[in-house]
Every structure is written in C-alpha cells, then in structure tokens.
Amino acid sequence: MPNTNGHGPRRAILYARLSTDEQARSGYSLTQQIEVLRDYAAREGYEVLEEVEQLVEGPNVVLTTLRSGRYGGWTQ
C-alpha cells in the first residue's frame, strides 16, 4: 500500500456488532456490516489487520469472532 501521509501504511481493524434481530432484518447483519467496512477500507487504501464481529443479546456478549489477516492468510 502506498504511503499517503508520511506516517507509514494505513491500517484498520474492522468491527461489526449486532445487538437486535431488527438490525439483522433491516439489512445490518454482521456479514453486511463487514462487507461495507471491507469496501470502505479497500477504497480508502487501508490494510485490514483484523476483523471483529460481536453478537450481543441484552446485556450479554453472546459471541465474539476474530479473524486476522496479519502475517499472511486469514485465521478464525
């Protein structure tokens, strides 16, 4: 990635959170959120280091998924 600001490559960690069924039904599923974030990162020249997805029910975090693209290849 080209250095555009004189401070090294632009890097990002993508974070998506789903807290209600209504969000999923209204087009804000975790998958859709991550796709939008990936598109933005690619368009703006960011290197994506990690992706974090969180599923929340009430006051409880039910599931957290971390995918890392650092050091070559994505892991889950």
pLDDT tens per residue across span 17-42 = 988 777 777 878 888 999 999 999 99
**Domain of 33?**
11-68
How many residues are listed for the chain in this entry? 76
pTM, 2 dp: 0.71
Residue 25 is assigned to a structural domain of this protein: yes
Residue 5 is assigned to a structural domain of this protein: no
For 8, left (φ over 0), alpha (ψ -120 to 50), or beta?
left
Residue 76 is assigned to a structural domain of this protein: no
Euclidean distance between CA atoms 25 and 10, whole angstroms: 33
Helix (H) or strand (E) holding 44: helix 30-44
Residue 20 is assigned to a structural domain of this protein: yes
Residue 74 is assigned to a structural domain of this protein: no
Look-up: residue for tokens 């070559």? 72
Residue 47 is assigned to a structural domain of this protein: yes
For residue 4, the model assigns a pLDDT of 57
Q: How many domains does the chain have?
A: 1
Q: Which of 42, 39, 37 is nearest to 10 (CA)?
A: 42
